[in-house]
Amino acid sequence: MPIEIPDVRESFSQAIYTVTLGATRDGGGTRTKVVTVGGEKALPFHHFEGEIPHPPVVAMEVWDVPPEDWPDPVRMPFADVMGSLGEWARKCVEEHGADLICLRLVGCDPNGEDRSPEEAAAAVKEVLTSVGVPLIVWGCGNPEKDNEVFPVVGEAAAGENCLLGTITQDNYKTLVAVATAYKHKLIAESPVDINIAKQVNILAMDAGYPLEDLVIYPSTGALGYGIEYVYSIMERARLAGLGGDKLMAQPILCDIGREVWGVKEARAPREEQPEWGDAELRGPLWEATTAYMYLLAGADILVMRHPEAVRAAKRAIRMLMGEEQ
Amino acid sequence: MILIGERINAGFKDIARAIREKAVEPIQEWARRQAAAGADYIDVNIGAASKDPADMAWLIQVVQEAVPTPISVDSNRPEVLRAGLEALDGRPALVNSTTADDDKIAEIVPLAVEYGAGLIGVAMDQRGSPQDVERRVENGAKIFVAATEAGIPPERIFLDPVLMPIRFMQDQAVKVLEAIREYILLSDPPPHISVGLSNICSKTKERSLITRTFVVMAMAAGLDAAICNVLDRELMAAVATAEVILNREIYSDDFLKVWALKRSKGGE
């Protein structure tokens, strides 16, 4: 006797907010393309349950100062361009297909080169003139310094509809004001804590910032370093967002490269860990595998480093979107 | 939690007078205040102030002019319910209510179907209010079956196990809680379960405290709707907290603010 299989497809009451980054000339900016993320009405890649209008995208990371702690396997692909921010960004876009450039203003760190807000703004301008894709601008992480830098950077990039980050529970007012004044989007950061993720969004909203212009950064763990915990938080946030919780209905960003290239499994040279195999292969694999996990958890924007890992992630996205076998 | 604002009811003297004198402003003021406090529905009841169905139609129109909130058309008389439903401008509505009596079910369930409204079924019958769990369940199930057979989906059916004043019938509240636990087993998804929350505190000194303590206990049992005083801030805070404790709302430090935000934007 045939067994009737019940229809277990789920449908949800709310779509994730759609966030567009970048602005072309028509939109008041100078980008040659814009990037739109979010808008999904189903869990990641559950095409059979609801529309997923925009595939996840990959941002590639560039720094305003040549990174000294990037291990060779991820430094070598950019060794020829790391001295020139513009060329580095161009290589990411033209050779490696980056959808976005994520400029990290590491040079502004008071414990490092302590670069000025004006130097930071010049770095942003250099990237903007070198590539046509939208920009993520990530502060140095020192709250006081970021609050000095972002007003200048935000103005320098006025109209470009950048994604600026990050706001946190303890530091959000300046960046909210900058993003409001110069029309940028914001990354809301929380330390692997869903309650704080929600709270940061409430604080931004309370300060007058639209919930539909935020991107959630719930913190990221590399494969082997708490990835399951981040995964469960992303999944819970996404379920709440799809279920109608407007404070959890934002696209999600994962900072893959920074986490992966900080762990020994990706960094250790073969001489140190001969049984782990070739570091040139292992590192990119670690980054790609971490990216796969976060795609399945609901990531909308992946920030990555190694070209091969980017290629693998982009191929996975095309396959999961049904565009490639 | 689906909150139905109770205040536009001719049981209140100012509303009864406003209905008699056709005074628009006091009614619209209560409509606006309840909507601003986050009511999902505004209950509208002409009670004993009038027997004329036209007065219900008038009252509905007055409320609709003031707020966009969905309306609970409240009467035990089918002709009054029909007049109220007929006056609606297309917004979502509840028919409040039928009992488990055959003649009431026969007249009122089709009204909800005809007007595409939700239906509140009160577990009373010709013998009066139920005194035990069994009759609450029997009557509730009877209404539920009749409503679903008439084509009303479970998500539009509200069962009311009949809450009694704690002051006079202290043994009944715990039976209501038990009946709620039985109601949620009726279907998957279960029907909504609603009570006339203010009944419990009738003629008591600690009205708000009794009400909010009961609602939290009832929510734990499965209650997800109530006709109540949405202007009672402590009651609203208790409901908001229960939603967090029941894990229906992700906790944040400002969860009360989240509640207010959701409510100010027209409910859930």
Say which of B250, B261, B268 has its CB closest to residue A194. B250
CB contact under 8 Å between A245 and B250, yes or no, is yes
Above 80 in pLDDT, residue A65? yes
Summary count for chain A: helices (H), strands (E): 11, 10
Chain A: residue whose CA lies nearest to B248: A240
- With beta carbons less than 8 A apart as the criterion, state whether B210 and B199 touch: no
Q: Which residues of B touch A203 (CB under 8 A)?
A: 254
Q: What average pLDDT does the segment B169-198 reach?
A: 96
CB contact under 8 Å between B254 and A247, yes or no, is no
At B265, the pLDDT band (50, 70, 90 cuts) reads: low
CA R_g for chain B: 17
Beta bridge partners of B118: B94
> How many angstroms separate the Cα of A223 from the Cα of each of A35, A176, A307, A319?
27, 32, 18, 21
Q: How far apart are the first and last CA of chain A?
A: 35
For domain A47-319, give the fold: TIM Barrel (3.20.20)
DSSP per residue over A100-166, as a string?
EEEEE-GGG-TTTT---HHHHHHHHHHHHHH--S-EEEE--S-HHHHHHHHHHHHHHTTTS--EEEE
Say which of A237, A244, A247 has its CB closest to residue B268. A244
At B111, the pLDDT band (50, 70, 90 cuts) reads: very high
CB contact under 8 Å between A202 and B251, yes or no, is no
How close B243 gets to chain A, by Cα (Å)?
13
- B48 to chain A, any CB pair closer than 8 A? The answer is no
pLDDT of residue B85: 97
- B251 to chain A, any CB pair closer than 8 A? The answer is yes
Mutate to test the interface with B, among A7, A238, A245, A248 (most CBs of B within 10 A): A245
CB contact under 8 Å between A195 and B261, yes or no, is no
Q: What average pLDDT does the segment B77-82 reach?
A: 96
At A128, the pLDDT band (50, 70, 90 cuts) reads: very high
CB contact under 8 Å between A196 and B261, yes or no, is no
CB contact under 8 Å between B257 and A196, yes or no, is no
Chain A: residue whose CA lies nearest to B256: A202
CB contact under 8 Å between A240 and B250, yes or no, is yes
- With beta carbons less than 8 A apart as the criterion, state whether A190 and A168 touch: yes
pLDDT of residue B83: 97
φ, ψ of residue B100 to 5 degrees: the values are -90, 5
CA A8-A11-A13 angle, to 5 degrees, is: 155
What are the pLDDT digits (tens) for A187-206? Answer: 999 999 999 999 999 999 99
Annotated domain spans of chain B: 2-264
pLDDT of residue A253: 98
Q: Which residues of B touch A237 (CB under 8 A)?
A: 250
CB contact under 8 Å between A199 and B250, yes or no, is no
How close A249 gets to chain B, by Cα (Å)?
12
CA R_g for chain A: 19
CATH of range B2-264; options 3.20.20.20, 1.50.10.20, 3.40.50.300, 3.60.130.10: 3.20.20.20
What are the pLDDT digits (tens) for A268-289? Answer: 999 999 999 999 999 999 999 9
Residues of A near B (Cβ–Cβ under 8 Å) read 194-196, 198-199, 202-203, 205-206, 236-237, 240, 244-248
- B155 to chain A, any CB pair closer than 8 A? The answer is no
**Gap between the Cα atoms of A81 and A90, Å rounded:** 9
- B257 to chain A, any CB pair closer than 8 A? The answer is yes
Say which of B249, B254, B268 has its CB closest to residue A202. B254
Chain B: residue whose CA lies nearest to A200: B252
- B258 to chain A, any CB pair closer than 8 A? The answer is yes
pLDDT of residue B48: 86
Q: Which two tokens stand for residue A213?
A: 């212009």
What are the pLDDT digits (tens) for B207-246? Answer: 999 999 999 999 999 999 999 999 999 999 999 999 999 9
What is the residue type of B95?
V
Chain A: residue whose CA lies nearest to B268: A244
Q: Which residues of A touch B249 (CB under 8 A)?
A: 245
CB contact under 8 Å between B251 and A195, yes or no, is yes
CA A252-A281-A80 angle, to 5 degrees, is: 80
CB contact under 8 Å between B258 and A198, yes or no, is yes
ipTM of the complex: 0.78
Q: Which residues of A touch B258 (CB under 8 A)?
A: 198, 202, 247
- B188 to chain A, any CB pair closer than 8 A? The answer is no
Name the 3-class secondary structure at A28: coil
String of b and e for A261-280 (b: at least 16 CB within 10 Å)? Answer: bebebbbbbeeeeeeeeebb
CB contact under 8 Å between B252 and A202, yes or no, is yes
Above 50 in pLDDT, residue B266? no
pTM for the predicted model, two decimal places: 0.87
Task: Report the length, in residues, of chain B.
Answer: 268
- B113 to chain A, any CB pair closer than 8 A? The answer is no
CB contact under 8 Å between A202 and B257, yes or no, is yes
pLDDT of residue A3: 86
Q: Which residues of A touch B251 (CB under 8 A)?
A: 195, 198
Say which of B253, B261, B262 has its CB closest to residue A199. B253
Residue pairs spanning A and B at CB distance below 8 A:
32
Above 90 in pLDDT, residue B161? yes
What are the pLDDT digits (tens) for A133-153? Answer: 999 999 999 999 999 999 999
How close A195 gets to chain B, by Cα (Å)?
5
